[in-house]
Structure 1
């Protein structure tokens, strides 16, 4: 029996060493390395969504540049820029129109600057160590894209023979992916921005409405020349299978909102975790968030969906849960507690950066500790108050992180009766040193949270 136990320990030790070696090797190789089929740099990375129009009073690429050092110090790694293409004027919404009603894919919106300005910004981002992904709108164009006259067969027609609008967006026209020339043109124009401007990947708008077989061909083609990161706006397993690295966690986010409102217990999040584990490919990454441009503009996230201190324990979850590539939306670090207008100028005012230290702790821990890598092991820790508290441990090699979240409006005393908690740890936010034994207890205030680093 002792011999068998010894073999088990040896195998466990060997596996841990291999995991650690894998992570170190990938990091040392750099941009060409992959882990589980993904760019190695995203596995402990994060995304910050940039709303160029509203970020500064000028709303230009050049005006955004002075923010790079601040964001770098906060720990931001990947910058996702909302669409930078010119916006259609026909059927335009509001005074400036929707970013997602593109009039040409091959230029930049003159309100933001020139193509030279964009290339300079990308180059500067790379100099400072950022990755850059660009928002791409493949499902539809704006209502005056030149394809409507030069290539009318690129569009789906309605019963009258006119180009059909996409969904209920009157300022758009839906593209026809039954047309092979459209497919080839779309891939070529996406390739242009990678080759010519040096971006590191795409966030693809309404990706679920574009055929899966297109994505398989498109992503494979784009990856021939660069190890790009691909994010799909969609929450279906097929998108990960098509080649996207990460997909949206809409299902998970909706449960989080219900927990925040007190309508569901903390344990309700189990269904979201099980859904990902059972339905998505084993290497699928998932983008977790507490806000983004859609949720902020139309649903009041995060100031309405997770108001005040309620936001923090959910933000910790997005940064630490398994498979996560966490997102921060422009202004959440301030925080800007209002919906940012979508079709008109509505400048964000940055002044206090009250949440920046909070985010900085999480972002830096994630980048420095392999236990928070997207593919690090995950163990759910059951407690005496699972209806209020969600607790888990992440491990990779010798690294271990324990996360305990009070998703309720009342203080709790949590008992952690699990052997994996045993050991000496330091709490991330308070710097408190703790020696955990099995059955240890800790107190959390309402909406409290603790992250212990072993």
Structure 2
């Protein structure tokens, strides 16, 4: 076979390969709305370096360090990646006073706590996470310092503090020296420190507590400064529970990821037991669309270091944690706000308030829930309608919930059966799109429109998320083209072999 014929045969393959490569190289920018966040306490996650274990006492988790560090997190990056998490949110990493394992007793804003590791090891964590296309952020403390911080002993800094101690139900924070964020020197110091950490480590975001304890001008200047270093820098933040002020102003100030703390109780009440109506979840979303400029950027979570564990609610209600967590997480991953999962949720950690809610992580647990999280995480990443789309209720009755998400022509339908019996729901086709089909992304279910309606059947305590698509049968032209390619390639190989054999003088002897 001549070279020109060989080239003729190879051209289609080369063109296909080039087109595929170009498509793969074109990568859409990842927005904050696209993230799936894993939140952890550095000290309670994984001990990767025994050399920094001074003061560690595993018998006293209420008061002592337990050994977790940056190297330990690096060792578990694949563990987090496999579960579909795209961002890791760390507890405060600053040097703390003695036994400040939680990071709240800040003693120096420009040093890492030696129990967690060096700044070089923090850099390594950020670099290794970035190699895996994961982002890293940590909680940046702005409202308080440790009881014995050097500033508290400096008369020149008396006006850096409010007269009253830190108000909080959390014993870690209660009564700590409270910074006056109206003071321009305090603001400048904290903003300079925030910029310094970005420059030194390449960190991707900050979590900020006590948004309501600072004037809005402080957050406007803080957000502008850090985004001046990195315009895609992530900022999330919390307000005190029960705050009734206009929370949309924090998004307008530049903090997109305001934690939707009012949603947490609704989530827990809805999924810690069975046969519970779900209207309140959709009502929360409707209110958020009115209150916030960017409701999809809000943060949704079940629990954190300041709350009891969601598993405690489940156990108190005499329910099985595995099934409850699956339904709860499925809703968390299919609703519009950015999902944040607190470490240990993947093994259904139980616990009351600290230290019960922040145990040392156990990596030798049943992997069933981890695999479930990985699967729904992959679906959320693949379907942009789940991370960026709007939300519309299609059906709800006593815990059987069906809703629609739409984004740029894509439609996804989620169905969650939080009831004690199998459910059949009929959705009019004009609510979704007629003469189409719903293709299950989770359990591979398929529902075709028939007589102007879709009949969705979901077993008890099960769920499915569907992608709306055109009805299709077998794609005969495509299948035929595949066979033609293989036949042509086979003929080419046969002819090449025959010509090679005829030219081989050893085989002709």
Tell which has more relative contact order, 1 or 2 (C-alpha 8 A, sep 6+): 1
- Would you say the 8 A contact 2:415–2:463 is kept in 1? yes
> How do 1:49-448 residues align onto structure 2 when only pairs under 5 Å count?
49-57=39-47, 58-89=67-98, 96-150=100-154, 151-158=157-164, 164-167=165-168, 169-170=173-174, 172-226=176-230, 227-234=232-239, 236-260=247-271, 261=273, 265-282=277-294, 285-296=297-308, 300=312, 307-322=321-336, 324-338=337-351, 341-342=354-355, 346-351=359-364, 352-374=366-388, 376-381=389-394, 383=395, 385-419=396-430, 420=432, 422=434, 423-437=436-450, 438-448=452-462
Tell me the number of residue pairs that the alignment of Structure 1 and Structure 2 aligns.
408
Deviation track 1:264-301 (CA, whole Å, cap 9, x = no partner) reads: 62112232012101111146611112232223469946
Match of 2:487 in 1: none
SS of the equivalent of 1:140 reads coil
Match of 1:453 in 2: 467
- Kindly report the root-mean-square deviation, in angstroms, between the aligned alpha carbons of the 2 structures: 2.9
Q: Distance in 1 between matches of 2:294 and 2:354?
A: 38
- Would you say the 8 A contact 1:97–1:344 is kept in 2? no
SS of the equivalent of 1:424 reads strand
SS of the equivalent of 1:333 reads helix
Q: Distance in 2 between matches of 1:143 and 1:79?
A: 29
2:14 equivalent to 1:43: no
Match of 1:20 in 2: none
- Would you say the 8 A contact 1:291–1:302 is kept in 2? no
- Would you say the 8 A contact 1:237–1:279 is kept in 2? yes
TM-score (norm. length: structure 1) = 0.82
Q: Distance in 1 between matches of 2:311 and 2:131?
A: 36
- Would you say the 8 A contact 1:414–1:441 is kept in 2? yes
Q: Distance in 1 between matches of 2:385 and 2:160?
A: 47
Deviation track 1:213-260 (CA, whole Å, cap 9, x = no partner) reads: 100111011111202011111373222122111111222221222323
Larger displacement relative to structure 2 (255-264 or 172-181) = 255-264
Quote the offset at 1:345 in angstroms. Answer: 8.3
SS of the equivalent of 1:350 reads coil
Structure ranking higher in helix proportion? 2
Quote the offset at 1:106 in angstroms. Answer: 1.2
TM-score (norm. length: structure 2) = 0.73
Deviation track 1:327-358 (CA, whole Å, cap 9, x = no partner) reads: 11112223334458449983211123321221
Q: Distance in 1 between matches of 2:314 and 2:188?
A: 39
Quote the offset at 1:48 in angstroms. Answer: 0.8
- Would you say the 8 A contact 2:39–2:90 is kept in 1? yes
Q: Distance in 2 between matches of 1:256 and 1:297?
A: 13
Gaps of at least 5 residues in structure 2 are 1-22, 48-66, 469-509
**Compared with structure 1, are the counterparts of its residues 343 and 405 closer, same or farther at alpha carbon in structure 2 (3 Å cutoff)?**
closer
SS of the equivalent of 1:99 reads coil
Deviation track 1:42-100 (CA, whole Å, cap 9, x = no partner) reads: 232211112221112441111221110121122111111111112224xxxxx555422
- In our comparison, the structure showing a higher alpha carbon Rg is 2
Gaps of at least 5 residues in structure 1 are 1-23, 31-39, 90-94, 159-163
Match of 1:5 in 2: none
